[in-house]
Structure 1
Amino acid sequence: MRAATPTRSKGEPTIGLINIVFLMLIFFLIAGTIAPSPDPSVTLVSIAELETRAPPEALVITAEGGLRIDGIDWPDTPEAGALAYLETLPEPRVARLLVDRAAPAALVVSLAEGLRGAGAERVVLLGERALE
């Protein structure tokens, strides 16, 4: 009888995977540096210093919970102001709310629901794009 020779188990092909990932990394690094850069003689527009203002058709909700319609502070309750704003919109009525980030969330939700209930086809919240 012969003695059984020990069988060697095959290892996992991790070295091959590491090589493939490494080659992909090198490829993308080189491809990114080869990509054409903008023309150095062109100076791009900087919009950081521009003064921004609300679109004229937007209902502005301030940090204190007040409303501003067409740049004028609404003296009555926010609910009455939202309904008055809705009456100024043409058909189809799309209400645009420009909300201060410190405005009470409960007020924003109740005004949006009130506008939808009063006949607004859509309620759109306006905001700013994040700086990257």
Structure 2
Amino acid sequence: MRRRKQKTEREPTIALINIVFLMLVFFLVAGTVARPLDPALNLVHTADLEGAAPADALVINADGSMSVRGEAIDAPEAFLEALGAEAMTLARIVPDRDLPAAKLVEIGRALRAAGAEKVMIVTERGLE
């Protein structure tokens, strides 16, 4: 007599598809949808403008070197000393795109520890 092969149970793929579908519906309902821009609005075209950091900002290059108003500094605290009370209220940072996030967080924490009330990261924003 030959032994009968045991039937292997299939994974319940229908249940998985149902769960994914329900998650999709949930995120569509729960997510916020941005309002479209007014069709009569004409956005400014800035392709020909040269980007420049604000004069009172701490510029951080990809290698971690820092400068204020074109002069190199070696510590974030020197940035606050260079600008005085102006930077204590709001410290602006202009990081390079390739700067590691850990280094950016480290510099932000150093500025807060040195007395800056707010630390703002200046970035570019594109609407295409």
The reply to whether TM is greater than 0.5 is yes
1:84 equivalent to 2:78? Answer yes
Equivalent residue letter for 2:72:
D
**1:106 offset after TM fit, Å?**
1.2
- Paired letter, 1:103: L
Identity, % of aligned positions:
45
Unpaired segments ≥5 residues, structure 1: 1-34
CA gap of 1:109–1:131, structure 2 versus 1, over 3 A, is same
Distance 2:58 2:125 in 1: 19
Structure 2: which 5+ runs fail to align? 1-37
Pair 1:115 & 2:115 matched: no
- Secondary structure of the residue aligned to 1:109 is helix
The offset of 1:93, in angstroms, is 2.4
Q: C-alpha deviations, 1:62-100, integer Å up to 9, x for none? A: 0111101111233x3xxx2x1011122325521100011
Alignment of 1:95 with 2:94, yes or no, is: no
CA 1:117–1:49 in 2, change beyond 3 Å: closer, same or farther? Answer: same
TM-score normalised by structure 2 residue count: 0.60
Tell me the CA shift for residue 44 of structure 1.
7.9
Q: 1:55 to 1:37 in 2, by over 3 A?
A: closer
- Secondary structure in structure 1 of the residue aligned to 2:103: helix
Give, in whole Å, the separation in 2 of the partners of 1:66 and 1:126: 17
1:108 is paired with a residue whose SS is: helix
Paired residue type of 2:85: P
Which structure has the greater CA radius of gyration? 1
Q: Would you say 1:60 and 2:56 are equivalent positions?
A: no
Q: Which amino acid aligns with 2:99?
A: A
TM-score normalised by length of structure 1: 0.59
